[in-house]
Every structure is written in structure tokens, then in C-alpha cells.
């Protein structure tokens, strides 16, 4: 349950009853594509036993594209992964600027300037060398997130006397609906972490069961949170739901959210730089082990996220665009395509139909979401 669940009530505002269905459908589809992605890591030996012959998303992509180019698939996957991780970092900076501006409305500072101030606190990220530090920050992040969700849900439940199902739309604007699709998809994306997760499980045979339960609970929590928040504020629901809270709670929750956003930033940042390092380490043109080079790469990534956060400071539109581009590709398009390519002769007809359906659905959602999100951003920029 990442910080982006805060955009789900706003997605319901623009998608109505169909948004609730989408949250459930996305959970089911993401669970399915997670399973088929992991299936691509395995091949049967002569005795019919499954053996893990691949370790990463990149290995799967390379196996699918080896006839065209041995490294083409890996390059596509790595570029997509880095894009998604960097866009996630940018969103954390955008959220930080938004939260600071709403927490201190009387300070004569713009939202962009607040993003720069938040960026300064993240400068130590250039010195992170191991996942051990990141894991400690993530533990604190989880604790803060629990407090935030608890406070918002508790307040919403105190307003239950004002709830009305009439607030839900029966008809929705098609373009607004498609942006909501991107938001909902992005809130579920986890496929890039699944191969590593499955490989480190004590009992990998329980992976499918684990995936079923985690997506079930994620779906229940997302639906409950989005529904209670939307029923509380209706048409007044804002892009970041905490902006709707009364002032005495808003500052407290916003500061907690700010803490969570800043603590969340190092994980995608570290993952993105590690992918870049892994790619560069195969090249003879750079001194990969040079400390100065490593600092330079991290510093460049930090600066890139700041510049993007300043020039595209619109939380939901940016999240919708990211979900439509990288989220849909990594979550729907590539897993179904890879599964069809590697397992075509072994999977039953109904599974082939399911994979093709997921691919077509993912492609249409991605294409439509990109067009609508870009149109929305262009309208914002005038």
C-alpha cells in the first residue's frame, strides 16, 4: 500500500461505479500476470521437473528476443524499469512540494520552491551504497503509512452520517475515466520486484498462494480506503485526499505524509541506479568501480527527478501518465507477451486466450491513457 493510494478517491470521482470495478479487476489481472511472469523463469527438464533457469525480468526478455538480438529484450526491460522507478521518485518530490505548501500556507513560498527544499533533504541519497540502509528507511516508512491510513479512515468513519451513494456518478467523461485507469493500474504495479522476491523466498512453492492473498488484501484495503474517502467528500474530493482533511488534522497528516514520501524515495532511487550500474559494468568504456563515477551517476539521477518535479507539478496527471506508459507495459504487456513466446507449446488454449486478452486490454489502456494524460498535461500548461 504505497503513497499513491491517496490518489484513488480522486480516481473514483472521475470513474464512478466503474472505478470500484476497475480496482477489483486490476487486482485480479496483476495477480495473474505476476504468476505467468514467474512461470517464465522455469523450464521443464527431461524428467518433467521444473527448474529455475532464469533469475530476472531481464533474463526473461533476453530469452524471448534471442533470435532477433541477444540483448534487445533486456535493454527494453531495463529502460522501462528505470523509467518507472525514476517517475516514482519524481512523484515523491511532487507530493513533498504539495504537502509542504498545504502544511504552511502562510509562508510566501511556491509549491515548486517547497519541492526544491524537500530535494535538499534527499541529497544524502548519493552516498547510499547498500540495500541495508534502504531497508531501515523502508521500515520507518511502513510505520508512518499505517498511522496516516488509520487517521484518514478514522476521520471518515466519524462522518458516516453524511455518506450518500448518490455522490457516485453513473455516467463519466471518457477521458477522465482513462486517466483514472492509469492511476489505478499504477497503484498495483509490483512486477519488477517479483522475480527477486520469488528467488529469495524460503519456500518458492508458496509464491502463487502468497500472490493470491496479498492481492486480495490489497484490493480490499484500496477499495475500502477509496470508497470511505469518496463517500465523505464526494465532488469536493481533491487530487491528494489528505488536502480534504480539516486544518487541525491536515498539518499533522501532511507532515507524516512528507516523512513517508522522503523515506520512500531511496528505494526506487537505489533500484534505478543499481540497474544503470549493472548495465554500465558490462561496458569497457567506464570505470564502474570509481567512487567519483558512482557519485556522479547518483547526483545526475537526483537532479533529473528535481527538474521533472518542478516542470510537471501535477500529481494525478503524472501518476496517470506513468501508469499508462511503464506500469501497463511492465504489468500487462510484457508478462503476457513473454509467457506466450516461451510457453506457447505447453500452455492450454484457454490460457493462451487469457494472455492475448490481457495483452490487448493492456495495450488499449496504455494507448488511451497516454493520449488523455498528455492532453491533460498540455491543457494545464496552456
Q: How many angstroms separate the CA atoms of 302 and 270, rounded? A: 11
What's the sign of the alpha-carbon dihedral 320, 322, 324, 328?
negative
What does the pLDDT read at residue 337?
92
Own/partner pairs, 24-27, CB within 8 angstroms, 24+ separation: 24/219, 24/223, 26/184, 26/185, 26/187, 26/188, 27/188, 27/215, 27/216, 27/218, 27/219, 27/222
Reported as a single tens digit per residue, the pLDDT across 253-292 is 888 888 888 888 888 888 888 888 777 776 655 555 567 7
Pair 97, 309: CB distance under 8 Å: yes
- Extents of the domains making up the chain: 3-381
Q: Which three cell numbers stand for residue 5?
A: 493510494
Q: Report the run of H or E that residue 90 belongs to, with start and end.
A: helix 72-103
Express each pLDDT in 324-341 by its tens digit. 667 777 888 889 999 999
Identify the pLDDT of residue 288: 53
Per-residue pLDDT of the chain (382 residues), as tens digits, is 666 688 889 888 888 888 888 899 989 999 999 999 999 999 988 877 889 999 888 889 889 888 877 778 888 888 888 887 887 888 888 878 877 887 788 888 888 888 888 889 898 888 887 777 887 888 888 888 888 888 889 999 999 988 877 777 766 777 677 767 767 877 787 887 788 788 878 898 999 999 999 999 989 989 999 999 999 988 888 877 877 888 888 888 888 888 888 888 888 888 888 888 777 776 655 555 567 777 888 888 888 888 888 876 565 566 666 666 677 778 888 899 999 999 998 899 999 999 999 999 888 877 776 777 677 677 766 6
Sole residue written with cell 540483448: 71
Q: What is the pLDDT of residues 368-378, one digit of tens each?
A: 767 776 776 77
pTM over 0.85: no
Cell numbers that stand for 305 in this block: 527527478
Which residues, in sequence order, are CB contacts of 335 under 8 Å at separation 6+? Answer: 33, 34, 36, 37, 40, 191, 358
Q: Residue 107 is placed in which grid cell?
A: 509562508
The residue written with cell numbers 491510513 in the block is 149
Cα radius of gyration rounded to whole Å, the chain = 21
Cell of 220: 480490499
Residues facing 43 on adjacent strands? 51
And the C-alpha cell for 1?
Answer: 500500500
CB 320 within 8 A of CB 182: yes
What distance in Å separates the CA atoms of residue 309 and residue 265, rounded to the nearest whole number? 13
Q: Which CATH number is correct for 3-381, 2.40.128.90, 1.20.1740.10, 1.10.10.10, 3.40.50.300?
A: 1.20.1740.10
Could you identify the residue written with the cell 504537502?
99
The answer to whether the beta carbons of residues 94 and 83 sit under 8 Å apart is no
Task: Answer for the pair 81, 192: CB distance below 8 angstroms, yes or no.
Answer: yes
Between CA 105 and CA 243 the distance in angstroms is 12
Are the beta carbons of 364 and 357 closer than 8 angstroms? no
Q: What is the pLDDT of residue 190?
A: 80
* Strand residue runs (E) in 215-352: none
Amino acid at each position: 500500500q504505497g503513497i499513491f493510494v491517496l490518489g484513488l478517491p480522486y480516481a473514483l470521482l472521475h470513474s464512478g461505479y466503474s472505478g470500484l470495478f476497475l480496482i477489483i479487476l486490476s487486482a485480479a489481472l496483476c495477480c495473474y500476470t505476476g504468476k505467468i511472469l514467474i512461470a517464465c523463469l522455469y523450464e521443464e527438464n527431461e524428467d518433467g521437473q521444473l527448474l529455475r533457469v532464469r533469475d530476472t525480468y531481464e533474463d526473461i526478455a533476453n530469452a524471448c528476443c534471442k533470435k532477433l538480438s541477444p540483448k534487445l529484450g533486456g535493454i527494453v526491460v531495463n529502460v522501462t524499469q528505470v523509467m518507472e522507478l525514476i517517475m516514482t521518485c519524481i512523484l515523491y518530490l511532487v507530493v513533498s512540494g504539495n504537502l509542504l505548501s498545504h502544511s504552511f500556507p502562510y509562508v510566501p513560498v511556491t509549491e515548486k520552491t517547497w519541492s526544491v527544499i524537500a530535494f535538499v533533504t534527499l541529497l544524502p541519497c548519493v552516498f547510499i551504497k547498500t540495500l541495508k540502509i534502504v531497508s531501515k528507511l523502508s521500515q520507518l516508512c511502513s510505520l508512518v503509512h499505517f498511522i496516516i491510513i488509520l487517521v484518514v479512515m478514522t476521520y471518515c468513519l466519524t462522518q458516516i452520517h453524511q455518506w450518500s451513494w448518490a455522490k457516485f456518478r453513473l455516467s463519466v467523461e471518457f477521458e477522465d475515466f482513462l486517466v483514472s485507469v492509469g492511476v489505478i493500474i499504477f497503484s498495483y504495479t509490483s512486477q519488477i520486484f517479483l522475480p527477486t522476491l520469488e528467488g529469495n523466498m524460503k519456500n518458492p512453492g508458496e509464491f502463487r498462494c502468497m500472490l493470491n492473498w496479498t492481492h486480495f488484501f490489497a484490493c480490499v484495503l484500496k477499495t475500502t480506503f477509496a470508497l470511505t474517502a469518496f463517500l465523505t467528500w464526494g465532488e469536493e474530493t481533491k487530487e491528494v485526499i489528505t488536502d480534504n482533511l480539516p486544518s487541525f488534522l491536515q498539518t499533522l497528516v501532511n507532515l507524516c505524509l512528507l516523512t513517508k514520501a522522503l523515506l520512500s524515495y531511496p528505494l526506487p532511487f537505489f533500484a534505478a541506479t543499481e540497474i544503470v550500474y549493472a548495465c554500465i559494468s558490462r561496458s569497457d568504456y567506464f570505470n564502474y568501480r570509481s567512487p567519483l563515477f558512482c557519485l556522479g551517476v547518483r547526483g545526475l539521477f537526483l537532479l533529473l527527478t528535481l527538474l521533472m518535479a518542478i516542470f510537471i507539478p501535477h500529481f494525478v496527471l503524472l501518476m496517470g501518465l506513468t501508469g499508462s506508459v511503464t506500469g501497463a507495459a511492465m504489468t500487462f504487456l510484457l508478462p503476457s507477451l513473454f509467457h506466450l513466446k516461451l510457453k506457447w507449446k505447453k500452455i492450454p488454449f484457454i490460457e493462451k486466450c487469457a494472455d492475448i486478452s490481457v495483452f490487448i486490454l493492456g495495450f488499449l489502456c496504455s494507448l488511451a491513457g497516454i493520449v488523455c494524460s498528455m492532453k491533460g498535461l498540455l491543457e494545464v500548461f496552456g
